[in-house]
Amino acid sequence: MSALVLALYLFVFPGFLFLLGFAWFAEWWDRKLLARLQHRVGPPFLQPFADFVKLLSKENVVTEGVSARLQAALPLVAFAAVATAFLYVPLLGASPFGAPGDLVLVLYLLTLPTILLFVLGWTSRNVFARIGAVRAASQLFVYEVPFFLACLGPALAAETWAVADVVNAQASGLWTFLLQPLGFAVAIVALQAKLERTPFDIPEAETELVAGPLTEITGRKLAIWNLARDIALVTGAALLVALYLGGPTVPGVALEGLAGAAIGFGAFFVKTLLVLAVLAAIRAAVGRIRIDQLVTWGWAVLTPLALAQIAIAIVLRGVGWP
Amino acid sequence: MTKEQREPPERPGVLLPEMARHLFGRPATQRYPAERIPVPKGFRGRIEVSDEHCIGCSKCALVCPTDCIEMVSDERDVAMGARTVHRKKKPIVHLMSCIRCGLCEEACPTDPKAIYLTEAFGGAYERKDVVVG
Amino acid sequence: MPEVELPIGPQHPALKEPVSFRVLVDGERIVRLDLDVSYNHRGVEKGAEGREFPKALYLIERICGICSHAHATNFAKGVEALMGVTVPPRGQWIRTLVAELERLHSHLLWLGVLAHEIGYNTLFMYTWRDRETIQDLLEEISGNRVNYGMNRLGGVRRDVSDDLRSRALEGLRGLADRAGFYSRIIREEQTLLVRTRGVGRLPRDRAIALGAVGPTARGSGVDFDVRRDDPYVAYGDVPLHVMTSSASDVFGRLEVRVREIEESVRLCTHLLENLPSGDIAAKAPRVAPQGAYVSRYEAPRGELVHYIRTNGTDKADRVSVRTPTLANWLSVVEAIQGRVIADIPVVVAAIDPCLSCTSRTTFVDTGTGDRSAMEWDDLVAYGIRYYREREGLP
Amino acid sequence: MAAGPARVRHGPEDVAPEIVRELSERLGGAIAELRQTAPRRLAGTVPADDVRTVLRALRDDLGCRHLSALSGVDRGATLAVVYHLAARGGTVLSLTVSLPRDAPRLPSVTEVFPAANLYEREVHDLFGIVFEGHPDPRPLLLYEGWPEGEFPLRKDWKPRGREGTNARG
């Protein structure tokens, strides 16, 4: 891989510029779908971009007694973490940065934003933010375990820790989703919780804690944080597509060169939109549950299901099925 | 709902069928001001004063609950039925305090009414609209 | 986490009303609630004394936005009783019709607000969309979506034409099955049940002792409704069923209001189908004789009381207004004790607070700031002790 | 009383006369001038000192378990507090307590009817009537900066600044 192609990959195509556009498009798709489900019109196409620019122009208020650099740095680190994670998710074929074990790296990078949200909330000397931060932390453990297990399943089936290999294992058309539907369901719900979307938007419960950990965050910081949240949404969905729905492969079509890449990307794009549609439907269909209910439900239902799926996957491996 | 009827199971996402139906239907949002919605007959809109019918009897000013009708001096001859009346003052309405109750229109003795509610949906758009009459 | 004082309001996304709560929380659990709503006292009672009756009627109508007809009708029928004026049947029936339509749109609005409080925004969107059928109906009947101005001393100001009647019946038929749909939804949607069942408990005897009124009381099994027990306008002549629930919690109040929506639709249909003929208003004198009358009304939020004293002039000597929300605040303090923060918006929304009605209530049950425990009332002290022992808190 | 009865509704029949008999038997002379003023409406007067006892008796023996409202009144020579109790059959019993204009005081009924806590504080703020034994007599509805000793609903209190109700623009 020559340096130029790597730089192009990093900054232009699946990298920085494309990611910005894709993230805003995902947010528009999510909000438009939510609106149409609620019998409303929904935002115009460029709304997320307009929100971002508007926030950039807003005054950057720094809470007294809080280090401005820390408050400014946290959203940037979160943004960097999820943007890097996106590089490892194969869009066209294998990602040039792919390496054995990059699944673990992606999972770790996706966890970072929540921890940063906790630090952001805890250090912003605001009672709403502090309570929201504690909620974000307690919610972290509830969904992190099932999400890891749900990602472990496909890796187990493909006997590899590299996302690219998992995708290739499904190239033959036998998607993990068909083999482990339970795992897919757990992954979807856990991703909804990880992204703190209704019914799991407990840390930022608008009607109770104003904006939770983000209460004191304004201007550029909020703009970057929302962007990081959009990218996390896209990266999470792309990861699920790669692990469960065969990523950029279309069963029975193995073309090389430009055409193959285009079809691969098209498949990936459609599948990601489907996953985002499911997430938007969940967001529209239910109300927010309380933190104590989430914790009990998480450990009583979500994690056992994930473990069951892993057990089934191991038994299947033993029997010799893929 | 009688008790024998099987108690439907509690489950999340009960609105999903209806949501699916709306997904492809036309949204219910009324796109005002792009699409003007028809105002029903008898809608109590902005108030108007017609100068040529007003005989300056100030009944409207007396009956107005918020005292937002002020009589200003304005000499003029007005035809009232067969005879003409020389009036000395006429009402001006302070729209910001007007609650559009229509009592002034009921109290006005002229025919056609000198002060009446129109079906104009909008209120005062610019400063000059604030006082009518 | 040490006990933290959490200020909620007066500007807060949960409560679009000028109320402020100072809540002392231990972690997520509420230890004490302070409530201050004295943010928009407008002196309506003083204003009503200085105005002739027709003008005072329009002032009193504006005490509250979503129950304006309640205040106007209650004041009008009080003054009519003092003047000895009898409103012709058709006028009474039209007043009752607009009253029930107002209850319909107020309850639908409330159902949406409760859904929004727990983040269930799809139900919020649907209920407020269905409410538009009522708003359009009211706009056609009275010419306005809010502050209908239907009342005049002696009757109503506008008649209901036959063509309007048939269109209204059509709209109500559509609303009837929507109401049925919602009463099914609230029993089946798990996330709604999980956030409302067992939350904000208010046993029947506490509800009576605290003077709770309306759906808040009926949700705890108190079988009282001014429309049936102290009938006014046309309620004596129409079939009326009072809805109660023994659940005694937020779900009980939710259940009562949704069943009242269905009942109001039936009532409106009955009123429209059997509207008596005749004129709609009687001539009312300018002056009311010396006297005093307690005028009661079942507003969407509960029993509304106007105590009107007249002194033989064309102005009221005293108009004392006690709004339903003022009576329900104590139930909030009792119901919220020991709950968690997430329950505050739900329990408060459950009494459907209408701050423009209350506009004047504040009570703090222990000292603020200096933490000097100036006990507010043995009721609250008992409540705190009871919950602390039960929860095993220090 | 000149208030003619509004058209009698046929809903629950009017039990007010029976309640009048019951009250006079049970409470003897405690309630003076007990009379019916309109369908399902009774009125009476009670001396300031035995307000608590009368209300407790009404709540426990006569089933008046709901204090509908509590109104302050300025009758020129004297001030007054009127307790409106919801009795059987939709009847409302209004008990008036007259008070001297200079130092109006009467015992608080918060123990009998906890709901009165708010109503009494409202009357205190607007009329300056002191309710002895009220657990939390802080201002109820006027903002913190409201001057002491100013009671807006008294007849002799006029709003300064904008005289009368001129609502010009």
| Residue C16: closest C-alpha in chain A | A207
Q: How far is CA C117 from CA A45, A54, B80, C15, C24, in A?
A: 29, 28, 60, 9, 21
- In the numeric block, the tokens 């409103």 are attached to C87
CATH of the domain at D67: 3.30.460.80
The pLDDT of residue C252 is 92
Is A286 a member of any domain?
yes
Q: What is the pLDDT of residues A81-122, one digit of tens each?
A: 998 888 888 777 667 777 788 888 888 998 999 899 889 888
Neighbour count for residue B73 (Cβ, 10 Å): 9
Residues 118-157 of C with CB under 8 A from B: 122-123, 126, 129, 132, 136, 139-140, 143-144, 147, 149, 157
Rounded Cα distance, B25 and C38, in Å: 46
Q: Does B66 touch chain C (CB under 8 A)?
A: yes
Is A312 a member of any domain?
yes
Binary contact (D168, B70; C-beta < 8 A): yes
Q: What is the pLDDT of residues C53-67, one digit of tens each?
A: 998 999 888 888 788
Do chains C and A meet with 3 or more Cβ pairs nearer than 8 Å? yes
Binary contact (D141, C359; C-beta < 8 A): yes
Joined tokens for residue C165: 């009647």
Mean pLDDT, chain D, rounded, equals: 81
Chains touching chain C, criterion 3+ CB pairs below 8 Å: A, B, D
Does pLDDT of D3 surpass 80? Answer: no
CA C262: distance to chain centroid? 17
Q: Report the CATH fold assignment for C44-324.
A: Cytochrome-c3 Hydrogenase; chain B (1.10.645)
Is B40 a member of any domain?
no
- Kindly report the CA angle at B14 between A181 and C354, in degrees rounded to 5? 140
Does pLDDT of D156 surpass 80? Answer: yes
Mean pLDDT, chain C, rounded, equals: 82
The pLDDT of residue C22 is 66
Calculate how close chain A gets to B38, using CA atoms only, in Å: 20
Calculate how close chain B gets to D94, using CA atoms only, in Å: 31
The pLDDT of residue C131 is 92
Is A3 a member of any domain?
no
User: Residues of C79-110 as b/e, b for ≥16 C-beta within 10 angstroms?
Assistant: bbbbbbbbbbbbbbbbbbbbbbbbbbbbbbbb
Rounded Cα distance, C243 and B35, in Å: 41
- Please state which of the ranges A50-59, A250-259, C225-234 shows the lowest mean pLDDT: A250-259
Calculate how close chain C gets to D85, using CA atoms only, in Å: 11
- In eight-state DSSP terms, residue C25 is E
CATH of the domain at B52: 3.30.70.3270
Rounded Cα distance, A200 and C123, in Å: 17
- Kindly report the CA angle at A115 between A113 and A120, in degrees rounded to 5? 90
Does pLDDT of A196 surpass 50? Answer: yes
Overall average pLDDT of the D91-115 stretch: 90
Could you tell me which residue, A174 or C51, shows the higher pLDDT?
A: C51
Number of domains in chain A: 1
Domain span at B111: 47-132
Overall average pLDDT of the C250-261 stretch: 93
Mean pLDDT, chain A, rounded, equals: 85
Q: What is the pLDDT of residues A270-308, one digit of tens each?
A: 999 999 999 999 988 888 888 888 888 889 998 999 999
Is B69 a member of any domain?
yes
Could you tell me which residue, D153 or C177, shows the higher pLDDT?
A: C177
The pLDDT of residue C340 is 76
Question: Angle, nearest 10°, between helix axes C89-117 and C121-142?
Answer: 160
Joined tokens for residue A183: 């795992």
Rounded Cα distance, A164 and A103, in Å: 9
- The SS3 call for residue D114 is coil
**Contacts made by residues D75-80, CB under 8 angstroms, sequence distance 24+:** D76/D155, D77/D101, D79/D104, D79/D127, D79/D129, D79/D154
| Residue B70: closest C-alpha in chain D | D168
Rounded Cα distance, A198 and B61, in Å: 55
- The SS3 call for residue C263 is helix
Binary contact (C143, B43; C-beta < 8 A): yes
User: Max CA-CA distance within chain A?
Assistant: 62
Binary contact (C189, B44; C-beta < 8 A): no
ω before B33 within 30° of 0 (cis)?
Answer: yes
- Kindly report the CA angle at B123 between B117 and B126, in degrees rounded to 5? 130
Asked if ipTM goes beyond 0.90, one says no
Q: Decide if C294 contacts D68 (C-beta within 8 A).
A: yes
The pTM (predicted TM-score) of the whole model is: 0.86
Show Cβ contacts of residue C217 under 8 Å, excluding neighbours closer than 6 positions: C207, C208, C224, C302
- In the numeric block, the tokens 């001539």 are attached to C283
Residue type for B11, please?
R
Q: Decide if A263 contacts A250 (C-beta within 8 A).
A: yes
Joined tokens for residue B123: 């209120």
Number of domains in chain B: 1
The pLDDT of residue D148 is 81
Could you tell me which residue, A147 or A124, shows the higher pLDDT?
A: A147
Is D133 a member of any domain?
no
Does pLDDT of D27 surpass 60? Answer: yes
Residue type for B108, please?
C
ω before B112 within 30° of 0 (cis)?
Answer: yes
Number of domains in chain D: 1
Overall average pLDDT of the D94-109 stretch: 90
The pLDDT of residue C368 is 30
**What share of chain A has pLDDT > 70, as a percent?**
95
Rounded Cα distance, C228 and D90, in Å: 8
Do chains D and B meet with 3 or more Cβ pairs nearer than 8 Å? yes
Q: Decide if A203 contacts A133 (C-beta within 8 A).
A: yes
Is A13 a member of any domain?
no
Structural domain spans, chain C: 3-39+338-343+354-391, 44-324
Rounded Cα distance, A245 and A239, in Å: 10
Chain C interface, Cβ < 8 Å to A: 1, 4-7, 12-14, 25, 28, 115-123, 125-126, 129, 189-192, 194-195, 340-345
Which residues in D lie closer than 8 A to residue C322 (C-beta atoms)?
68-71, 119
Binary contact (B25, A39; C-beta < 8 A): yes
Q: What is the pLDDT of residues A226-276, one digit of tens each?
A: 999 999 999 999 999 888 888 777 776 666 777 777 888 888 889 999 999
CA end-to-end distance (rounded Å), chain A: 32
Question: Angle, nearest 10°, between helix axes A68-87 and A219-244?
Answer: 20
Q: B47-49 and C151-152 as β-strands: parallel, antiparallel, unpaired?
A: unpaired
Domain span at A71: 19-319
- Substitution target in B62, B66, B129 with the highest count of D β-carbons within 10 Å is B66
